[in-house]
Amino acid sequence: MSEIAVYGIPGSPFLRSVEIALKEKDVPYQLHAMSPADMKTPEHLERHPFGRIPMFEHDGFCLYETQAIIRYVDDILPEPPLTPGDPKARARMNQVIGIIESSLFPKATAPIGFQRIIGPRLLGMPSDESIIAEAMPSARTCFAELDRLLGDKPYLTGDEVTIADIMLGAQLDLFSECAEGRELISGTRLEPWLERMRARPSFEATQPPAMLREAA
Ligand SMILES: N[C@@H](CCC(=O)N[C@@H](CS)C(=O)NCC(=O)O)C(=O)O
C-alpha cells in the first residue's frame, strides 16, 4: 500500500472516523495534526476550500468529506469490508450516515459538544447554556431514532461493523464526555453498543486527547 496521509485536529470525531477505518484495515498512515488556528490558513484552504477537517491524501489523490474518504478506503482495501453486501443493510448504513450529517452533528453533537467540550476545554470559552437548551429537543429526537434503528442488533446494520458504526461511535464517544451526552444515551441500546465499539482495538488506538475527556 502506497502512502496515505490524513490532516486534522486530534479529537475531531470526523478525523477519528477516518483513523478508525484505517486501523480496521490495518494500514499505516501519516497523521498531520493541526490546531484550530490552522483551519482557515491559505495552506489548509488549498487542501480544503471549506476550511474543514479531515483531509485525506493517497498517492497525490486528495479527498475530503469523511464518508467519501472511508468509502474510498473501503474500496481500495476491501478486507475486512466496512460496507454490507445486502442492499437493505447497505441502505440502512447510508441512512445512518445521512442522519449523522444532516441531524446528529449539526443539531446535537456540534452545538452541545462545542459548548460543553470543545469551547471550555480546548479554547477556554464559557458554555452558552441557551444554545445547549435549544439543541436538546433535536438531540432527543436523534437519539430516539438511532436507538430505534439499532434495535436489538449488535451493530447498526446487523452482525458486522460498518462505516455507520464507525462514524456514530466516534461522535458518541466524545459526546459522552459531557453530562448531556451521557443523559441522552443513558438507558438506550446505544449505550451497550458504544461499549462494544470502544472495546475495538481501532477505537482504543485513536483516543481523543485527554484534555477533552471530562476528568481532565
Ligand atoms: N461533512 C464534513 C464535516 C467535517 C466537519 O464539520 N469537521 C469539523 C471538525 S469536527 C470542522 O472542520 N469544523 C470547522 C468549521 O466548520 O469551520 C465531513 O464529513 O468531513
State pLDDT tens for residues 96-118. 999 999 999 999 999 999 999 99
Q: Is the overall model pTM greater than 0.85, yes or no?
A: yes
For the chain, residues classed under CATH 3.40.30.10 are 4-76
Q: Please, which residues have CB within 8 angstroms of residue 151's CB and are 6 or more apart in sequence?
A: 189
Q: Give pLDDT tens digits for 157-184.
A: 999 999 999 999 999 999 999 999 999 9
Ligand 1 within 6 A of 51 CB?
Answer: yes
Q: Give pLDDT tens digits for 18-70.
A: 999 999 999 999 999 999 999 999 999 999 999 999 999 999 999 999 999 99
Among 3.30.70.1450, 3.40.30.10, 3.10.20.30, 3.40.50.300, what is the CATH number of 4-76?
Answer: 3.40.30.10
Query: Cell match 437493505: residue?
Result: 88
Q: Which CATH class is domain 87-201?
A: mainly alpha
CB 172 within 8 A of CB 142: no
Q: Of ligand 1's atoms, which has the minimum distance to the CA of residue 50?
A: 17
Ligand 1 within 6 A of 65 CB?
Answer: yes
For the chain, residues classed under CATH 1.20.1050.10 are 87-201
Among the listed residues 142, 141, 145, 135, the one whose alpha carbon sits nearest the alpha carbon of residue 113: 135
Ligand 1 within 6 A of 12 CB?
Answer: yes
Please tell me the distance from the alpha carbon of residue 12 to that of residue 59, in angstroms, as a whole number.
24
pLDDT at 215: 62
Q: Give pLDDT tens digits for 174-214.
A: 999 999 999 999 999 999 999 999 999 999 999 999 999 87
Residue with CA closest to ligand 1 atom 15: 52
Q: Is 85 buried (19+), middle (13-18) or exposed (0-12) by CB count in 10 A?
A: exposed
